[in-house]
């Protein structure tokens, strides 16, 4: 059972683990879009539990199924739009699939192809759990036109493929924000523990943006995040772990690696300075950490992205 509950980094990795055949291939960018009808589910289908490390949008034009996130279950019906973010364990199941488009992407993709302040523009991306939303026929046709353009571009091989997808995804998110979540209210928002998680994620995002811009010279530790909410560090740690499935240290490590990648790709800041901004006393310590997280040294990572022609 434990093997089936591991974190998955991408939709490709999930489908490989679930032994589902698709045309998905692993790539440099953690983005995918497909019509679930092309997956070939043997209906009715129910997945094993998994915890994704990516965001997902589900656009159900014609299909029926259900999702479970921790102890909350949601029915998915025609003209529903469904969103989940990285965190809790979940399962999904389908009884009918005629036309259901799934879009998945990670934080690194968002910040590379949309903008560093993406979570300021789209705060609902940071929330915990949102119910599926049923769209009017008019609105659904509007977003359908956009996700079909994304799907068409995804199946090309042009040099600006992901830049185009990033712009289209931004339009899609603005439409969804304005229609559904301008004044979004996450499930259990009144629950104290959910509020703690949301505040932690928002502070984490702001802090790492400030670190990247050189506006803050001190890297926050667990105690700092606890002090910001006037909580005991042990209590904050237990809440974050129980509600998201990840420890605070894992959240911090993920943000550190993500910001390091971004600065290596998109700036000429010396590696020694990047290390200092991220709280490493020595560049060698940062290099060892980065290689452990990514499999390559900061120097090789920067050089490979300079030569890839993607940026």
Tens-place pLDDT, residues 165-179? 999 999 999 999 888
Query: With bands split at pLDDT 50, 70 and 90, how would you rate the model's confidence at 137?
Result: very high
Query: With bands split at pLDDT 50, 70 and 90, how would you rate the model's confidence at 5?
Result: low
* 15 token code pair: 């489908």
* 288 token code pair: 């060892």
pLDDT at 209 over 80: yes
pLDDT at 64 over 90: yes
Between 218 and 145, residue with greater pLDDT: 145
Please provide the DSSP assignment of the chain as one string. Answer: -GGGGSEESSHHHHHHHTT---S----SS-EEEEEGGGT---SSEEPPPBEESSEEEEEEEEEEEEEEETTEEEEE-TTEEEEE-S-S-EEEEEEEEEEEEEEEE-HHHHHHHT-TTHHHH-GGGG-SB---EEPPHHHHHHHHHHHHHHHHHHT---TTHHHHHHHHHHHHHHHHHHHT-TT---TTTTSHHHHHHHHHHHHHHHHHHHHHHTS--S---HHHHHHHTT--HHHHHHHHHHHHSS-HHHHHHHHHHHHHHHHHHH----HHHHHHHTT-SSHHHHHHHHHHHHSS-HHHHHHHHHHHS--
Weakest-pLDDT range from 172-176, 243-247, 266-270: 243-247
Helices 233-244 + 192-213 axis angle, to 10: 100
Q: Which of 10-14, 15-19, 146-150, 189-193 ranks highest by mean pLDDT?
A: 146-150
Q: Taking residues 18-33, what's their average pLDDT?
A: 79
pLDDT of res. 128: 63
pLDDT at 220 over 80: yes
β-sheet bridge partners, residue 25: none
pLDDT at 298 over 70: yes
β-sheet bridge partners, residue 64: 96
Please provide the DSSP assignment of 94-120 as one string. Answer: EEEEEEEEEEEE-HHHHHHHT-TTHHH
Q: Taking residues 6-25, what's their average pLDDT?
A: 81
For residue 144, which of 24, 22, 37, 33 has the smallest C-alpha distance? 33
pLDDT of res. 156: 92
Distance between CA atoms of residues 144 and 138, nearest Å: 10
The sign of the dihedral angle between the CA atoms of 74, 79, 84, 89 is: positive
Between 48 and 311, residue with greater pLDDT: 48
pLDDT of res. 183: 54
pLDDT of res. 248: 93
Query: With bands split at pLDDT 50, 70 and 90, how would you rate the model's confidence at 3?
Result: very low
pLDDT of res. 308: 58
**Average pLDDT along the chain:** 87
pLDDT at 231 over 60: yes
* 107 token code pair: 């934080």
pLDDT of res. 310: 47
pLDDT of res. 120: 80
Its pTM stands at 0.73
């Amino acid at each position: 059972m434990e093997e089936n509950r591991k974190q998955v980094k991408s939709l490709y990795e999930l489908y490989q683990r679930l032994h589902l055949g698709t045309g998905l291939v692993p790539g440099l960018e953690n983005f995918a879009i497909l019509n679930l009808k092309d997956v070939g589910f043997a209906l009715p289908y129910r997945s094993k539990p998994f915890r994704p490390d990516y965001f997902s949008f589900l656009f159900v034009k014609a299909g029926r199924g259900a999702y479970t996130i921790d102890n909350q279950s949601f029915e998915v019906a025609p003209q529903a739009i469904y969103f989940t973010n990285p965190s809790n364990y979940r399962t999904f199941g389908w009884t009918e699939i005629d036309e259901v488009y799934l879009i998945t992407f990670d934080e690194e993709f968002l910040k590379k192809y949309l903008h560093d302040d993406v979570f300021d523009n789209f705060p609902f991306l940071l929330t915990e759990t949102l119910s599926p939303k049923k769209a009017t026929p008019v609105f659904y046709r509007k977003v359908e036109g956009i996700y079909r353009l994304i799907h068409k571009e995804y199946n090309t091989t042009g040099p600006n493929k992901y830049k185009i997808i990033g712009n289209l995804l931004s339009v899609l998110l603005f439409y969804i924000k304005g229609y559904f979540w301008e004044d979004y209210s996450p499930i259990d928002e009144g629950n104290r523990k959910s509020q703690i998680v949301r505040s932690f994620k928002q502070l984490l995002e702001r802090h790492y943006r400030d670190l990247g811009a050189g506006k803050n010279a001190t890297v926050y530790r667990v105690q700092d995040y606890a002090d910001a909410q006037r909580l005991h560090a042990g209590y904050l740690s237990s809440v974050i772990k129980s509600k998201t499935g990840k420890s605070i240290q894992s959240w911090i490590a993920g943000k550190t690696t993500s910001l390091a990648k971004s600065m290596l790709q998109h700036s000429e800041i010396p590696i020694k300075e990047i290390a200092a901004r991220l709280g490493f006393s020595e560049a060698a310590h940062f290099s060892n950490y980065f290689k452990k997280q990514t499999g390559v040294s900061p120097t090789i990572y920067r050089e490979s992205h300079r030569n890839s022609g993607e940026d």
